[in-house]
């Protein structure tokens, strides 16, 4: 295993299964670990926990909430991060509409409607139309059910309160990959392109026939990109 160890950071209501194809593909050539993003209350606290658990030097793969955490890790300890991959995420803080929507979701969850909120949030309409669509939706629902209502509220609050991270982008000096699905309805291709343009020498990849769960929707393409890019 000659490459730098890889640390994967799952997104909102995700666990290691979100990166299962990448763990399987990359573990033959480098050490791969998944750091939890559901045990702390803020992006900064999650990032501190990641740094405590991670090897001295590592490459970060972060998606959604995990992408925000990855940016905070890169800000706090740039000398330890040898590569940064941001997937299906954004550097901007949440808009008032997004904050308000999360408030409504959390109120529903606290009122005992966790399953209803997850059913709506993880609808098939948010996935690209491919032969594994139902299977991927099932994985997403299982991850959410495993983590549960308390984690949903904790992670949603962390997303609401995360600071705007755009100022971090121009200061990033490590090799960086920005990757997204062409049909991501949560974080558009334009938002990813903006991040790539802000980061010096960043590589930008858009994956066809994929949306927010691009790692599961097009694992072969994503793995090929990662193998080619990994420091």
Please give the pLDDT value at position 1: 45
Please give the pLDDT value at position 59: 98
Neighbouring-strand partners of residue 107: none
Angle between helices 133-161 and 114-121 (to 10 degrees): 110
What is the tens place of the pLDDT at every residue in 124-136? Answer: 778 998 889 999 9
The whole-number average pLDDT for the span 2-18 is: 94
Least confident window among 79-83, 123-127, 141-145: 123-127
Question: Within 13 Å of residue 57, how many CA atoms lie on the same side as its CB?
Answer: 9
Query: How confident is residue 2, by pLDDT bands cut at 50, 70 and 90?
Result: low
63 and 10 Cβ atoms separated by less than 8 Å: yes
What is the tens place of the pLDDT at every residue in 31-81? Answer: 999 999 999 999 999 999 999 999 999 999 999 999 999 999 999 999 999
Query: How confident is residue 93, by pLDDT bands cut at 50, 70 and 90?
Result: very high
What is the residue extent of each domain of the chain? 1-231
Q: Write down the pTM of the prediction.
A: 0.96
The percentage of residues in the chain with a pLDDT greater than 70, rounded to a whole number, is 99
Q: Say if residue 15's pLDDT is above 80.
A: yes
Q: Say if residue 190's pLDDT is above 80.
A: yes
Helix segments in 77-165, DSSP class H? 96-110, 114-121, 133-161
Q: Domain 1-231 falls in which CATH fold?
A: Rossmann fold (3.40.50)
Task: Report d(CA 226, CA 228) in Å as an integer.
Answer: 5
Q: Which helix (H) or strand (E) holds 221?
A: helix 219-229
């Amino acid at each position: 295993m000659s490459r730098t160890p890889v640390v994967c950071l799952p997104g909102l209501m995700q666990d290691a299964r979100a990166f299962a194809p990448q763990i399987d593909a990359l573990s033959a050539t480098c050490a791969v670990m998944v750091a939890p993003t559901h045990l702390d209350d803020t992006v900064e606290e999650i990032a501190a926990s990641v740094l405590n658990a991670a090897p001295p030097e590592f490459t970060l793969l972060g998606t959604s909430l995990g992408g925000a955490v990855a940016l905070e890790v890169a800000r706090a300890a740039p000398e330890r991060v040898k590569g940064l991959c941001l997937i299906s995420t954004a550097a901007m803080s949440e808009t008032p509409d997004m904050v308000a929507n999360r408030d409504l979701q959390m109120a529903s969850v606290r009122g005992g409607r966790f399953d209803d909120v997850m059913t709506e949030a993880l609808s098939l309409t948010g996935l690209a139309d491919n032969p594994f669509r139902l299977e991927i939706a099932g994985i997403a629902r299982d991850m959410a059910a495993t983590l549960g209502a308390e984690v949903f509220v904790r992670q949603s609050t962390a997303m609401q309160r995360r600071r705007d991270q755009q100022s971090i982008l121009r200061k990033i000096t490590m090799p960086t990959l920005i990757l997204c699905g062409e049909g991501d309805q949560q974080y558009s291709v334009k938002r990813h392109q903006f991040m790539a343009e802000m980061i010096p020498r960043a590589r930008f990849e858009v994956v066809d026939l994929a949306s927010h769960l691009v790692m599961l929707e097009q694992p072969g393409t994503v793995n090929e990109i990662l193998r080619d890019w990994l420091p």
